[in-house]
Amino acid sequence: MRPISPTPKLLVDLAEHFRLALHDNAPDVKITGITMNSRDVEPGDLYLALPGARFHGASFAADAVARGAVAIVTDAGGAVNATAAGVPVLLTPTSPRSIAGHLAAWIYGTALDCPLTFGVTGTNGKTSTVHFLDALLTQLGKTTGLSSTAERRIGSEVVVSSLTTPEAPELHALLARMHEVGVDAALLEVSAHALTRHRVDGVIFDVSAFTNLSHDHLDDYADMDEYFEAKLALFTPERSRKAVVSLDTPAGAAVVERAGIDVVTISSTPGVASDWFVTVTDEQPDSTGFTLTSERHGSISTRVPVIGRHMAANGGLAIAMLVEAGIEFDEIGAVLDRDGRIRASLPGRAVRVPVPDGPNVYVDSGHSPDAFAKTLESVRSLTRGRVIMVAGANGDRDALKRPEMGREAALGSDVLIITDHQPRSEDPAVIREAVLAGARAARPDGDIREIAAPEAAIRAAVAEATATDSILWAGLAEKEYREVAGAKIPFSVLGETRAALTEAGWL
C-alpha cells in the first residue's frame, strides 16, 4: 500500500538532510519510494541494505537494482556489495534500521502531511481498541485507515498483516497513501517490537494509549522490566502528543508517573481513581453493555458486540481517545444512541458460533495467560453449566508463558483439552507438555486431557458439551492455516468448529 503519485525527491538533498556520505556523483537521481526488502523494490526506490541474523541485505543489492532501485543506503559491512551493484551508495555510521523511519518520513512527506493518527500499545487489547476506534470514526462519518495484527486497510482496500506493526518504510508508505486518498484518521497497533526495532520512528501520534501489561514476549526481552521500558517509549514527545492510559494493571500507574507527555487516565477497576471510568452494565452471549463516565464530560451508555468486561474497557478507552483528539463527547454519544452500540467487527476476538438451543461456542485468538484468564472469566459469567476449553500454545515464541497459559486454562475451565496450534519448527509434543505441566500443577485432580490433533480436540469438546455448557477454543481463531515443520497447512478453526457441531447434531 504505497502512494499512487509520490513526489520525487533528489538523492543529493536526502544525503545533505541526513548528513550521509554519498559515494557517487548523482546530481539528478530522484527517489520515489523506500524499502528494506529487495523483493519489494519498485522502480525509483531507495533500497535499505541492513545487517541481518544470517545475511547482510547488501548481498541482495544487485537484485534490488535489477528491480529498479536507484540508490542504496547501507553500513560499512554492506559497502562492498552495495557499491558493486552499480548505483549511488549512501553510507551511515549506524545501522540503516535506526534511520529508516526518518528516511521514509522525509521521502513520503509524512513528517508534514499525515492524517490524525492514533496509536495503541499494551500486551492485550491493542487489536480490539484499534477496531473500536475504526468503528466509532466510521459511525461519525469519517474515512479511516487501519493497521492491526489482523489487517492493513484503507477504506475498503485490505491486505493481510504479517507483523503487528509494519516495518518503518511500509508504515510511512501506508500513511502517505492514506493522506493521498483523503483518510481522516489512521489507527495503528504499536507493539513493543515496533518501538525497540524502530518501526514507528518518524511518526508522532496525536493520541496514544496504553491498555495493560502482562507476561508475553520474554523470548525477546530479558524480563518484564525491559518489556515495560519498550512500551514506555511510546509516551515521549518524540512519539506522541498526548495519551490515555488504563490503570487496570499496575503498569498503568507507572506509565502515568514516567510519561513525558500529557496523560489522562481510565479504569474499569472499582476503587481506582481515574479521569474516565468504565462500568459494565450487563453481559449477553453476543455483547457487553457499559457506561463510560467522566466528571468533566458526563456519561455515555452503549455496547460492544463481543463478550468480556475487558472488551467493554477497551471500548471505553477508544471513546476517551477520540475525545482527547478533539471530537465532541456529545457527538459520539449521539451516534451511539442512534446505532445502539459500537458497530465493530473484531477479527478473532471471542467470535461466537451461534448454536440454536445448544451450548455457547466461542473461538478466540488470545494466546497469553492474561488473555486466557479474561476470556474464560467472560465465558463463565454467561454459562449455567460447565466451561469446556480447547487450548494450546504456539511454537518459536515465548516458551516461559506456556505453563502459565496452562495454569489459567485449568483454573478457568471445568474440562480442559490441550492440543496443537502452530508448532512451527518446534516439536509439538514438547509444547503440549509445557502447557499440561502448568495445568496439572494448578489442578492436580482436574479433568485435563491431551489430544494432539486439533480436529479431534474440538470434536471431543463438542461431544462432551450439553446445552447448558460453553466451549471456548482459544489461541488460533483468525488463522486460515497451521504452520507445522515449516509448512503452512490449510486449516480453519471456525470451519472445524462448525463441522464438529454439525456432526454432533447441534447445527
Q: What is the CATH number of the domain that holds 191?
A: 3.40.1190.10
313 inside domain: yes
Say whether both 179 and 253 belong to one domain: yes
Distances from the Cα of 361 to the Cα of 405, 466, 467, 473, angstroms? 20, 11, 10, 8
- Rounded CA-CA distance 403/432 in Å is 10
> Is there a single domain that holds both residue 326 and residue 310?
yes
Final residue of a structural domain among 108, 129, 151: 108
Range of the domain at 358: 351-503
Give tens-digit pLDDT for 25-47.
Answer: 788 999 999 999 999 999 999 99
Q: Which amino acid is at 144?
A: T
266 and 364 share a domain? Answer: no
- Write the CB contacts of 266 (distance below 8 Å, at least 6 apart in sequence): 244, 245, 246, 247, 274, 275, 276, 277, 278, 313, 316, 317, 320
User: Which CATH number fits the domain that encloses residue 23?
Assistant: 3.40.1390.10
Question: What confidence score (pLDDT) does residue 347 get?
Answer: 80
Asked whether residue 345 is assigned to any structural domain, the reply reads no
Same domain? For 333 and 470 the reply is no
Is residue 365 included in any domain, yes or no?
Answer: yes
- Answer left, alpha or beta for residue 245, where phi above 0 means left and psi between -120 and 50 means alpha: beta
In DSSP notation, 473-504 reads: EES-TT-SEEEETTEEEE--HHHHHHHHHHHT
292 and 358 both lie in a single domain: no
Name the amino acid, one letter, at 189: E
Is 346 part of any domain? no
For the chain, percent of residues with pLDDT exceeding 70: 98
Q: How far apart are CA 38 and CA 56, in angstroms?
A: 12
| Pair (288, 167) in one structural domain | yes
Same domain, yes or no, for 297 and 191?
yes
The model's pTM is 0.91
> 13 to each of 53, 80, 202, 357, 377, how far by Cα in Å?
32, 24, 18, 68, 57
pLDDT of residue 162: 62
pLDDT 10s digits, 50-74:
998 889 999 999 999 999 999 999 9
Residues 282 and 363 in one domain: no
Identify the domain boundary among 108, 133, 152. 108
Count CA atoms within 13 Å of residue 258 on its CB side.
13
CATH value at residue 467? 3.90.190.20
User: Which residues make beta-bridge pairs with 387?
Assistant: 470
Residue 4 forms part of a structural domain: no
Domain count of the chain? 3
Q: Is the domain of 369 the same as that of 446?
A: yes
246 and 125 together in one domain: yes
Does some domain include residue 442?
yes
Cα-based angle 279, 332, 296 (whole degrees, multiple of 5) = 60
What does the alpha-carbon distance between residue 143 and residue 152 come to, in Å, rounded to a whole number?
Answer: 14
Q: Which of 339, 362, 394 lies at the terminal end of a domain, its last residue?
A: 339
Distance CA 227, CA 251 (A): 11
Would 385 be classed as within a structural domain?
A: yes
Residues 179 and 92 in one domain: no
Kindly state whether residues 273 and 234 are assigned to the same domain.
yes
**Across the strands, what pairs with 482?**
489
On whether the CB atoms of residues 378 and 407 are closer than 8 A, the answer is no
* Low pLDDT (below 70) residues in the chain: 161-164, 217, 477-478
Q: Classify residue 163: in a domain, yes or no.
A: yes
C-alpha cell at 236: 515521549
